[in-house]
């Protein structure tokens, strides 16, 4: 699992208007997959102690599901965060869709 760090800059209106985002080039091989995501998934509160999901847990999940087809990965990602947030009605679904290829 290789992480390419994002620029610390929001998309849209910002005090850093006019600054450019970093362009990253990747060499992909057959069978490679990449995931683009914001902090929306990892910042969701839940679990037994009401804590954030966190990046480390998310990376472990990606490694666990990497050999499944993308449709199954999507289903697992959605089910995992839904279970994490719980069904008590206290959590809003603010996480963004993860783009997979």
Q: Cβ(53)–Cβ(42) under 8 Å? A: yes
Q: How many domains does the chain have?
A: 1
Q: What are phi and psi of 42, to 5 degrees?
A: -70, -20
User: What per-residue confidence (pLDDT) applies to 36?
Assistant: 86
Determine the pLDDT at residue 39: 85
Is 70 inside a domain boundary? Answer: yes
Residue 3 resides in a domain = no
The domain in which residue 94 lies consists of 35-100
* 15 located within any domain: no
Distance separating alpha carbons of residues 54 and 6, to the nearest angstrom: 16
Query: Would residue 2 count as lying in a domain?
Result: no
pTM here is: 0.74
Residues 46-96 have pLDDT tens digits of: 999 999 999 999 999 999 999 999 999 999 999 999 999 996 545 544 444
Write the pLDDT tens digit of every residue in 22-45: 899 989 999 888 888 888 899 999
Q: Are strands 51-52 and 35-36 parallel, antiparallel or unpaired?
A: unpaired
Most confident range, picked from 6-10, 17-21, 97-101: 6-10
Please state, as a whole number, how many other Cβ atoms lie within 10 Å of the Cβ of residue 45.
14
Question: DSSP 3-state assignment of 56?
Answer: helix
> Does a structural domain hold residue 62?
yes
């Amino acid at each position: 699992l290789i992480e390419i760090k994002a620029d610390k800059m929001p998309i849209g209106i910002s005090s850093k208007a006019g600054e450019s985002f970093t362009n990253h080039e990747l060499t992909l091989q057959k069978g490679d997959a990449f995931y683009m995501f914001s902090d929306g998934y990892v910042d969701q509160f839940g679990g037994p102690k009401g804590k954030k999901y966190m990046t480390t847990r998310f990376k472990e999940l990606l490694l666990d599901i990497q050999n499944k087809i993308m449709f199954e990965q999507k289903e697992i990602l959605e089910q995992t965060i839904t279970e994490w947030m719980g069904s008590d009605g206290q959590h809003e679904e603010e996480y963004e869709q993860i783009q997979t290829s």
